[in-house]
Structure 1
Amino acid sequence: MKNHKWKRITLKVGSALIAPDRKGCTSRYLLHIAKFILQCRDMDIQVILVSSGSVAAGAHFFGNIENPSLAIKKAMAAAGQNEMMTSWDRFFDFPSAQILLTHGDLQDRERYDSVRETIFALLEHGILPVINENDTVTTDELKVGDNDNLSAMVAAAADADALIICSDVDGLYDKNPHTHDDAKLIKEVCNIGHDIFAMAGGAQVSGVGTGGMKTKIEAAEKATSHGIRTYIVNGFKESSFELLMSGINPGTVFTAYDLPMQENLHWMTHTSKAQGELVVESNLDHPLDEHSEQLTSNEIVEVHGDFSAGDTILVRSEDGKHLAKAEANYSSCLLSFINDYDSGEDGSELQHQTGPIISDKNIAVLEQEEPDDDDQNKK
């Protein structure tokens, strides 16, 4: 493959490509994607497939329900998952394996490592991992919500070299190409900032998937910070995959960080959900960095949420700035108890005896941006 040194890629395919009319799976758009997977494997490039489509594939079993309940959607997912896997299997003469995940599987470090080990074992034995969110059992607290972000988490867990996200447009445009004829394709993005997210305002128009361009940018942000080059391409066009095989960018490429985040810090930043918050003084005497063991209980202003020692928490300042995500050394119950003490002699003595609140070995410093309205409302 020209200009590529891929050893392992993650490919995300959405519902609109698998079951575009919600009447079961169709090979209409999947043939050229399957061909691309075969070509990659022939070149010893390992492929991890993140495939949506279970709900869309199973919808036809339930008649014409305009506004299905959550229970019906879960049933659709259960009925459609087998059809989706069967649809992929018919293209290949090698085995595939289904992995259904919730965010709970990824935000728990032990289960996250187990997922990594399973993916590596499948790849080592030439088996294609086909990953999807477990819509049948997931809840609001445990769901990722879209397979764009899930694909980035999977790509990071699998140490992929590239993430390829299929879209219904050629890539990221400076404005919605569905409504603006003068929209211009952005061929390369070196830094994902507010301006890039502003371009991603237009959601998909198919009405089949759960994501849009914004979730694809979020996924690119997660992946590139792990050193994973990310592409957004038009999955409906066979030429997109022909160009990729020729080493040509057919859509938008997001360049990877020159210095990727450490694996454990990337997991904490982009995968692990904060179980609570510590609000600290706006003007700390020291920065939150590798010396963050200096953060003590007397610098805590408020404690929010219900968390245990070892859980991931968000540390933010009184003015709403997100400072870091870190592993808590104490439970919210204990920290609230300490924080509720008056600043008298007994309280000072208890605070003095308390060790560091967060560990310098398990802290991910966040880019400090101005708080949005939701942050201010949490205060």
Structure 2
Amino acid sequence: MTNYQWKRIVLKVGSALIAPEKKGCSSRYLLHIAKFILQCRDMDIQVILVSSGSVAAGAHFFGNIENPSLATKKAMAAAGQNEMMATWDRFFDFPAAQILLTHGDLQDKERYDSVRSTIFELLDHGILPIINENDVVTTDALKVGDNDNLSAMVAAAADADSLIICSDVDGLYDKNPNIHTDAKLIKQVAQIDQSIHDMAGGAHSSVGTGGMKTKIEAAEKATSHGLSTYIINGFKEGSFEQLIQGNNPGTIFTPYDMPMKTDLHWMTHTARAQGELVIEGDFEYPLDENSAQLTSHDLVEVRGEFSVGDTIFVRSDDGKHLAKAQANYSSCLLNFITNHEYSDDSHEFIHHTGPLISDKNIAVLEQEDRV
């Protein structure tokens, strides 16, 4: 999908572009990014900016600390967020709005829908949404952990056409280009399989946290929702010039032919499972077409604590990962059902299921669940 087909894009910019020396925000690399945003808006392309960098931007206020504590990092984020927003604001003659998110805001469906409506309202009024993870208040249980995956979740929530992720290399290579001189750039990826995940290396920049691994995860989330996803070199002005001309300056990941619907995508790629149901029985597949066939009679074990409506995993008693689902009963009640004889064993405990999960996706979902 070239630029003249875009109606709405999400642009993710990392810490190394915002504050490359950890001495506050710098316009060194941001000028050409701001120019790209302006050009898109002149072409009636709506832009949502996911901007890392609050911790890196605020680090210089706290002296030369090699290994800052978690509390210090949160304080750095609080101080740096203001400076980062002020820096972006200087580039534009139109208003920008700050949206700080945690994973808790996205995995709760009501709050997720609220985020969607807020973004749409800002865009309708010509205001640039600038989104970042709320590092000041987030905890391990509530954080996404990297803005690559956050940008993909935001892109899906905002019904964007494309996701553009800025990196410190030109795109995805068949091997680490920082080590291998014969590494070749992969210009297009039609399907993200295990071989693509295997190509992903770690982060090389001194201030970034999302290496190629998280960018591939983000691309998988975005393409499954029907978004073209680009990984480009954000340090090169030419990358953005090529995008404006309709060319691919890095690696493009093409979208699914049949994208997931919004609610199904949210359950699969954004909502975190709060527990598990272990089931047995020769029930008919697929679960997403006839979830009512799973009853309390099939229930073997309940793992974790969850409430009505929470997202859960459904596994077979031999360990096979069957689906993500929404529970109709709490873990407390389901534990009671499994531990006591109940007069009515036909309680439907699945309200809605996600798609069947293939072997190659089990690891991805479990990795996401640990983030």
Smaller-chain TM-score bracket: over 0.9
Query: Could you state the TM-score of these two structures normalised by the residue count of structure 2?
Result: 0.95
Give the conservation status (yes or no) of the 8 Å contact 2:281–2:298.
Answer: no
State the partner residue of 2:8.
8
State the partner residue of 2:256.
257
State the partner residue of 2:168.
168
State the partner residue of 2:101.
101
State the partner residue of 2:369.
none
What amino acid is aligned across from residue 193 of structure 1 in structure 2?
A: D
Q: Deviations over 1:209-260 (max 9, x none)?
A: 1111010011001111110110000000011001111111111000011111
C-alpha change, 1:139 and 1:277, in structure 2 (3 Å) is: same
C-alpha change, 1:216 and 1:68, in structure 2 (3 Å) is: same
Deviation at 1:286, TM superposition (A): 3.8
Question: What is the aligned residue count?
Answer: 364
Q: Deviations over 1:275-300 (max 9, x none)?
A: 11111227544431211111111212
How many angstroms apart in 1 are the aligned matches of 2:58 and 2:36? Answer: 26
State the partner residue of 2:338.
339
| 1:358 and 2:353 aligned | no
How many angstroms apart in 2 are the aligned matches of 1:244 and 1:68? Answer: 38
C-alpha change, 1:286 and 1:6, in structure 2 (3 Å) is: closer
Give the conservation status (yes or no) of the 8 Å contact 2:288–2:356.
Answer: no
User: 3-state SS of the aligned residue for 2:191?
Assistant: coil
State the partner residue of 1:321.
320
User: 3-state SS of the aligned residue for 1:90?
Assistant: helix
Deviation at 1:322, TM superposition (A): 2.0
Share of identical aligned residues, percent? 74
State the partner residue of 2:180.
180
What amino acid is aligned across from residue 267 of structure 1 in structure 2?
A: W
What amino acid is aligned across from residue 97 of structure 1 in structure 2?
A: A
What amino acid is aligned across from residue 357 of structure 1 in structure 2?
A: F
State the partner residue of 2:75.
75
Q: RMSD value over aligned CA atoms?
A: 1.6
Structure 1: state its 5+ residue gaps.
none
Deviation at 1:4, TM superposition (A): 3.3
How many angstroms apart in 2 are the aligned matches of 1:314 and 1:97? Answer: 36
C-alpha change, 1:14 and 1:282, in structure 2 (3 Å) is: farther
How many angstroms apart in 1 are the aligned matches of 2:223 and 2:28? Answer: 31
How many angstroms apart in 2 are the aligned matches of 1:264 and 1:181? Answer: 44
How many angstroms apart in 1 are the aligned matches of 2:222 and 2:158? Answer: 11
C-alpha change, 1:290 and 1:82, in structure 2 (3 Å) is: same
State the partner residue of 1:40.
40
Give the conservation status (yes or no) of the 8 Å contact 2:223–2:253.
Answer: yes
State the partner residue of 1:140.
140
State the partner residue of 1:294.
293
Give the conservation status (yes or no) of the 8 Å contact 1:280–1:315.
Answer: yes
User: 3-state SS of the aligned residue for 1:351?
Assistant: coil
User: 3-state SS of the aligned residue for 1:209?
Assistant: coil
How many angstroms apart in 2 are the aligned matches of 1:112 and 1:358? Answer: 21
Give the conservation status (yes or no) of the 8 Å contact 1:282–1:319.
Answer: no
Give the conservation status (yes or no) of the 8 Å contact 1:306–1:333.
Answer: yes
